Structure 1
Amino acid sequence: MPLLAGPRFMIRTWHVSTVTDAARARIATARLATAHGVSAVDRARLVGALTAQLRQCLTKGGVWRLSVETTAAPSGDGGRIDVEVAPEKRPAGDLRPPWRTTVVCPENSGADGDGHVADDPASLAEALFCADEDAAVLLERLDEQERLVAFHREELHQTNQGVLALHAELDAAGRAQRELFAAEQRAREEAEHARGRLTFLADASTALTSSLNHDAIVRLLPALLVPRYARPGSVDVWLFDEEGDDRHGGGPRPAAAVLAARRGRPQYAADHPGGLPGVDDQPPSALDPARPLLCIPLLTRRAPLGVLTLSPSGERWDPDDAIMLIELARRASIAIENAKRFEHNRDIAETLQRALLTDLPTTPGLRLAARYLPATRGMNVGGDWYDAFRQPDGSLITVMGDVTGHGLHAAVMMSQLRTALRAYAVDGGTPGRLLTQLHTFLHHLQPDLYATAVIARFHPEEPTLTWAAAGHPPPVLRTPDGRVRTLDAKPGAMLGIPLRQEIGDHTVPLPPGSTLALYTDGLVERRAQGIDPGIQRLASALADFGPAELDTDLEGSADRLLHPLLHDSEHDDDVCLLLCHTHSGAAGVPGQPGPLSSGRGV
């Protein structure tokens, strides 16, 4: 088989001791590089490095050996040139390596040459020009690189400018985003504070308007304001009476409070301007100069009620807090005015109600006990009433009635019905006849007002009970044997409805020891259950009494009867109860006098 050809080697050596020797060796090396296809740039680098090394050798003196080894690949695809400079005779102990460099040959021209350089000037000049050409090529390449570097430098500069501009834009966007975030946070906080103020104002308004006692409203204001909007112990409510004088406490008042009462505008007294909208700034109070005061008049449509004075829980108030406090004072003024008006009307109504309550008459053999409980909500005055009076024939008429509605109007109509009934009863009419006359009277007097009523008549010479009802809850009768029945025979319709009606009478036996209970719907009716379960509870409670209890203590029996029926202390309607008890002893004998107990409750 054929042998593979290996690389070809050639070594050339020059001895250098003078400048001429160095020049010839330099020129020979350059020619070998050219012959082996080394580029002008690499030749210039090789020659420059070799020249610097030979200069050092000449400076040191002595004889130096320059060896150039050329290696050619067998395929002709290039090779390399290894250059070495070393002293001809190395001194003893000199361990320094010789100078070496290598140049890669991209291609092999095949012209190895012997590296001989003639001594004539023409050869040296030619070698010098060749070296200058290589330097020119190198310089041209350097110029190209410089232009390329300048281009890239400008490009990098433009890129840097763009990056700087982008950073500036990012910084500006970041600042804008941070500002927007801060503004959003402030808006959220302001919205939260506004929501808190509105919630506080709504809750405080509900608390103020839930009471109809103006003293309770005045006591409630400090509890609402401290400590969120006012310093503890700083809230003062100065109320005037009808003539404008001080009602709540004497002593000196801050000048700002007096100005607020006179001018009808809020005043701020402090050693610094308050900056509060709608509030006048005043000097600090002489009573307490170190404490800022906000004095808000309690205004109504007719006249000022007083002045609300308070100090901030912190250094000062936020303007929005001041606006909220002024609005709260306005609502407190309305609540106090409404409470005072309600109290005034209630006093009038209660005076009228007390005047209309009947003193129960004394009748032989019959005991009466009455209870009246006004509604716990509202005016405490309604249209419920009871009455008891004698007819000319000696009979006793007992009445239980209820006019629709509450307040003064219902009380006045109840009074008119009571008076009309007594006038009609003078003629000795029966219960049904009396109710028929009341129906006609009410229909013509007040077409839009209605009433219910029940009338029971006791005759001293008859052991019977005659009764009639018009839209009213049925009477409950307890007989001496403890049995209880509801007198629910066919009643008439409500009094005053646009309907012509003749209300009939009903009669039941009434043995001695019997008890009749007349009542209004406020005693037995509940919204969630209706009226029938309440009537059953009344009948059961009445059946639980023993005969001796009703005989000996009818008043206490009335109280004990109310207690299980009114287990809730609050009721929306008036409650009226009238117990009529025929004595089971000698008092039950017609015409024989006996003890009588009568009572009423408000």
Structure 2
Amino acid sequence: MTHNWQVRTVTDAARARIAVARLATSHGVPAVERARLAAALSDRLRRCLTKGGGWVLTVDVPGSPGEARTLRAVVTPSPGEAAADRGPWTVSVPCPEPGREDDTTEVTGDPADLSEALLGADEDTSVVLDRLAEQERLVAFHRDELHQTNQGVLALHAELDAAGRAQEEAFAAERLARTEAEDARRRLTFLADTSAVLNASLNHDEIVRRLPELLVPRYAHHVDVWLFDSEDDRYGSTSHPRAAVRAARTGRPQYAAGHPGGLPGVEDQPASALDPDRPLLCVPLLTRRTPLGVLTLSPPGDRWDPDDAVMLMELARRAGIAIDNARRFEHNRDIAETLQRALLTDLPTTPGLGLAARYLPATHGLNIGGDWYDAFRQRDGGLITVIGDVTGHGLHAAVMMSQLRTALRAYAVDGGSPGELLTRLHGFLNHLQPDLFATAVIARFHPDEDTLTWAAAGHPPPVLRLPDGRVRVLDAKPGAMLGIPLRQQIADHTERLTPGSTLALYTDGLVERRAEGIDPGIERLASVLGSFGPEDLDTRLDDTADRMLRPLLSDSERDDDVCLLLCHVHGP
């Protein structure tokens, strides 16, 4: 259904506005929509009146149920007054309810009627204002919620930022701890490796020589070792810094530099006059009794890290102990070697028989052991040659070797064959030292006989070179070791001797190797002995003994003593 109003004056506009408001009310348009429709229509009509001329307000409302539920208002110029700038204006609002056909569109000029319309408009405005107030309260509520949410977000960001900083600090502390642990591990590893190198040698000259090699350039630019009782200055300079002298007198580490060192347990001293531009750390080489020297170091850079300095002082302490141990060992070794060689007598001179012996101590330990050789005459003119080995090593083995040698000489005075002498030595050792054992081989030569008599007790077999160069290993069954808890009667064996024959007696240190046993070594000994000519054995027996040892002992390191006794029967 369509309604039209002509508008030329303000009154026409007011009546048309009132009529439209009543239509909207009758069609169930909500108050807010009515207020919006009235405000928009009033604004448009005011503009039209400002422009002047006549205007037509047309309102379409739904009439039948099938039509769209919309109220549509259109303002157009009156016929005959249209202009290019006066196009139609349209506004629409929903109509929830069907309209009622009555005279609501007729608006009179009665003041009561106009007042009622004004009050109705105010009522719609009040509803709009209430709705607006409700929306404002809702906006304020949501604003407060948003503010609180923002505050929570800010607090959360602050906590996250604090947590991030704490995590960064934890990571930094972890990296620092890891770096410190790695540095500590590096120092401990270096200290352990260096200590192993220093303690591996029992030569104090070697230890002193290795110290600078181990420290330069990683922990020191220069190293000087000052040993107090050194006969010369081969270990360092002849002039020593004042701090080194003070360290020697006080036994405490000294730091000489133009600035404080800040090193734990170290006394600060003025810079050295010998080297004023470089700091010096002077550490005494302490032993169990008294300082034996001073280790003076200059840093690889400007100064030392305190932890590195502590490690260097501990290394100096260990180096001092290692040097002291090496010196003690060298002293005891010299005494032991002197004793060992004093126990080995000179070989007798016998017509028709040449003798040559060699003794080489082990390169490890005190260089003293139980290997021994001897040669002496009996009353009947026979010559006893013997070579033996007491189990064990050290001074105790050497003492027992000396006792066995003395006992053998005492038993041989009354005569007796090699087997008989070994049997008596077995009883002697079993009675004197039940927990000590020995091996030995005895060979007897007699100028009036052309035979060799020999006997062995647990010892490697003799090797006999015949005049034609052939070599035989005398491997007849030997007796058991001397001293074992077993009664035994050691048998004699005889071999025919012809001029030009050579008998080799030896200990297992000459032929035994850990990786291959003893048999290959005996074969090598036989091969070497057979390689010499008759003239070498007749005229240069001592030189032949030395030449035999060279190929048999190619390795300079020996774990056991070595004895070799050559007996050569001269030709006619």
Q: Which residue of 1 aligns with 2:461?
A: 474
Q: Does 1:67 align with 2:83?
A: no
Mapped to 2, the partners of 1:201 and 1:38 lie a distance apart of 98
* Structure 2 alignment gaps of length 5 or more: none
Change in 2 beyond 3 A, CA 1:460/1:141: same
What do residues 191-247 of structure 1 show as CA deviations (whole Å, max 9, x unaligned)?
Answer: 22222122111111111111111111111112212222222xx2221211189x978
Q: Which residue of 2 aligns with 1:363?
A: 350
Change in 2 beyond 3 A, CA 1:466/1:73: farther
Alignment match of 2:42 (pick from 33, 41, 51):
51
Change in 2 beyond 3 A, CA 1:124/1:554: same
Sequence identity (%): 75
Mapped to 2, the partners of 1:434 and 1:570 lie a distance apart of 35
Q: Which residue of 2 aligns with 1:170?
A: 160
State the one-letter code of the partner of 1:215: D
Change in 2 beyond 3 A, CA 1:89/1:267: farther
What do residues 556-588 of structure 1 show as CA deviations (whole Å, max 9, x unaligned)?
Answer: 4434433443343322111111111212x31xx
Q: Which residue of 1 aligns with 2:16?
A: 25
Residue 404 of structure 1 aligns to a residue in which SS? strand
Q: Which residue of 2 aligns with 1:349?
A: 336
Residue 447 of structure 2 aligns to a residue in which SS? coil
State the one-letter code of the partner of 1:425: A
State the one-letter code of the partner of 2:120: C
Q: Does 1:117 align with 2:107?
A: yes
Mapped to 2, the partners of 1:418 and 1:385 lie a distance apart of 8
Shift of 1:362: 2.5
**Aligned-CA RMSD value:** 2.8
Q: Is the 8 A contact 1:73 1:79 kept in 2?
A: no
Shift of 1:272: 3.4
Q: Which residue of 1 aligns with 2:366?
A: 379
Q: Which residue of 2 aligns with 1:527?
A: 514
Mapped to 2, the partners of 1:89 and 1:274 lie a distance apart of 111
Q: Which moved more, 1:119-128 or 1:31-40?
A: 31-40
- Equivalent positions of 1:431-442 (< 5 A) are 431-442=418-429
Change in 2 beyond 3 A, CA 1:136/1:17: same
Change in 2 beyond 3 A, CA 1:543/1:288: closer
Mapped to 2, the partners of 1:405 and 1:266 lie a distance apart of 44
Q: Which residue of 2 aligns with 1:144?
A: 134
Q: Is the 8 A contact 2:54 2:81 kept in 1?
A: no
Q: Does 1:451 align with 2:438?
A: yes
TM-score by length of 1: 0.87
Q: Which residue of 1 aligns with 2:227?
A: 239
- Equivalent positions of 1:257-272 (< 5 A) are 257-272=244-259
Q: Does 1:199 align with 2:189?
A: yes
Change in 2 beyond 3 A, CA 1:72/1:289: farther
Residue 235 of structure 1 aligns to a residue in which SS? strand
Q: Which residue of 1 aligns with 2:300?
A: 313
Change in 2 beyond 3 A, CA 1:354/1:66: same
Q: Which moved more, 1:181-190 or 1:58-67?
A: 58-67
Mapped to 1, the partners of 2:238 and 2:555 lie a distance apart of 45
Mapped to 2, the partners of 1:230 and 1:106 lie a distance apart of 100
Q: Which moved more, 1:406-415 or 1:295-304?
A: 406-415
Mapped to 1, the partners of 2:473 and 2:108 lie a distance apart of 160
Shift of 1:265: 2.0
Q: Is the 8 A contact 1:13 1:67 kept in 2?
A: yes
Q: Is the 8 A contact 2:76 2:86 kept in 1?
A: no
Q: Does 1:582 align with 2:572?
A: no
Q: Is the 8 A contact 2:369 2:394 kept in 1?
A: yes
Change in 2 beyond 3 A, CA 1:297/1:284: same
Q: Which residue of 1 aligns with 2:387?
A: 400
Alignment match of 1:509 (pick from 496, 512, 536):
496
Q: Which moved more, 1:92-101 or 1:347-356?
A: 92-101
Change in 2 beyond 3 A, CA 1:484/1:96: farther
4+ residue runs of structure 1 moved beyond 6 angstroms? 89-93
Q: Which residue of 2 aligns with 1:561?
A: 548
Residue 157 of structure 1 aligns to a residue in which SS? helix
Q: Is the 8 A contact 1:69 1:83 kept in 2?
A: yes
State the one-letter code of the partner of 1:35: S
Q: Is the 8 A contact 1:32 1:113 kept in 2?
A: no
Residue 442 of structure 2 aligns to a residue in which SS? strand
Mapped to 1, the partners of 2:250 and 2:64 lie a distance apart of 117
Q: Which residue of 1 aligns with 2:560?
A: 573
Q: Which residue of 1 aligns with 2:5?
A: 14
State the one-letter code of the partner of 2:382: S
State the one-letter code of the partner of 1:94: A
Mapped to 2, the partners of 1:131 and 1:247 lie a distance apart of 122
Q: Which moved more, 1:13-22 or 1:194-203?
A: 13-22
Change in 2 beyond 3 A, CA 1:267/1:106: farther
Residue 325 of structure 1 aligns to a residue in which SS? helix
Q: Is the 8 A contact 2:419 2:456 kept in 1?
A: yes
Q: Is the 8 A contact 2:77 2:86 kept in 1?
A: no
Q: Is the 8 A contact 1:240 1:246 kept in 2?
A: no
* Structure 1 alignment gaps of length 5 or more: 1-9, 587-602
Residue 190 of structure 2 aligns to a residue in which SS? helix
Mapped to 2, the partners of 1:515 and 1:55 lie a distance apart of 153
Q: Which residue of 2 aligns with 1:6?
A: none
Mapped to 2, the partners of 1:449 and 1:380 lie a distance apart of 20
What do residues 353-409 of structure 1 show as CA deviations (whole Å, max 9, x unaligned)?
Answer: 343444333222222222222222222332212222333332222121222233344
Q: Is the 8 A contact 2:355 2:568 kept in 1?
A: yes
State the one-letter code of the partner of 1:174: G
Change in 2 beyond 3 A, CA 1:332/1:72: farther
Shift of 1:125: 0.3
Q: Which moved more, 1:334-343 or 1:154-163?
A: 154-163
Q: Which residue of 2 aligns with 1:273?
A: 260
Q: Is the 8 A contact 2:208 2:235 kept in 1?
A: no
Shift of 1:483: 4.1
- Equivalent positions of 1:283-322 (< 5 A) are 283-322=270-309
Shift of 1:332: 1.0
What do residues 153-192 of structure 1 show as CA deviations (whole Å, max 9, x unaligned)?
Answer: 2222222222222222222222222222222222222222
Q: Does 1:41 align with 2:42?
A: no
Change in 2 beyond 3 A, CA 1:560/1:285: closer
Mapped to 2, the partners of 1:291 and 1:82 lie a distance apart of 104
Shift of 1:442: 4.2
